[in-house]
Homo-oligomer: A and B are copies of this chain.
């Protein structure tokens, strides 16, 4: 028996309409559909090597700016569980060596697990030669537990459809990266580690009395976002991004117990953007489960926005991305 290996790259993505709340934790089925853009420069590269000589999976992670480290505990268990799903499809039991490397800071407000689990799933599937459509690959990636990772499989602008079933909760591209010269400039106001895990978040959403209102609103927002992407309408997309981010944080702040992700820097950036728009510079905020702010703007305005963000005392650094491709194989066999 031989070693079977593949290397894949997975991108991070930024959601315009957020995944917030898990309806079925075992299958990672969300309450609502979501829409995102893959990031072209925030990537994870993962090599998976199924080796008959191994007695157990081995996982090493190289985070940005850190030495390579073996994964243990929960991070290891999540990788091994995803490898198990791929092994089940291939009907094998061979253990694997996984090496994963991030080219962007972890916990800087860019969802690294989406990049990681899209790269892992694609590399493992490719190594074993499992024949899956893109849709099936996104379903398998979703089941990793990092639901938004399914949106990092298709290219460009991505729609995570959801009908509440395993096969009907998948991501598909609605436009390639070159469709729209957008930028996502992340203003990092606190690079610290999140104090509430995503898993806890998704569980807590349902305790908020505002969550049912959010779910109703999202139905309309998904349609409006598809139209805004089709028409390349930044004003419309920006309004949706901001309303959806506020709505997601409303749910967090009104959950039992509440979580306040926003900090001083978050508000400084929100108010900065609102001032700059009055001056004719159009950047719109969206905020994931942390204090850092993603600013969505035209690529031609990204440099000016990045400069102004860096001039705010609360902003520690910025990371700029354009729309990117989905997960792809870079080496196989």
Contact = CB atoms under 8 A, between A and B. Distances in A.
A105 interface: no
A264 B254 contact: no
A314 B267 CA distance: 12
Contact of A254 (B246, B260, B262, B267): B246
Contacts of A210: 210, 213, 250
Interface in A237-263: 242-243, 246-247, 250, 253-254, 258, 260, 262-263
B263 A266 contact: no
What band does the interface of chain A fall in when counting residues whose beta carbon is under 8 Å from B? 20 to 34
Contact of A267 (B209, B217, B263, B274): B263
A123 to B, nearest CB: 40
Contacts of A247: 254
A216 interface: yes
Contacts of A314: 264
A24 to B, nearest CB: 25
A117 to B, nearest CB: 31
A215 to B, nearest CB: 11
Contact of A270 (B260, B268, B271): B260
Interface of A: 209-210, 213, 216-217, 242-243, 246-247, 250, 253-254, 258, 260, 262-268, 270-271, 274, 314
- Pairs A-B, 6 closest by C-beta atoms: A264-B264, A264-B268, A250-B250, A264-B267, A263-B267, A246-B253
25 contacts: A209-B213, A209-B216, A209-B217, A242-B258, A243-B254, A243-B258, A246-B258, A250-B250, A250-B253, A250-B254, A260-B267, A260-B270, A260-B271, A260-B274, A262-B267, A263-B267, A263-B271, A264-B264, A264-B265, A264-B267, A264-B268, A264-B271, A264-B314, A266-B267, A267-B267
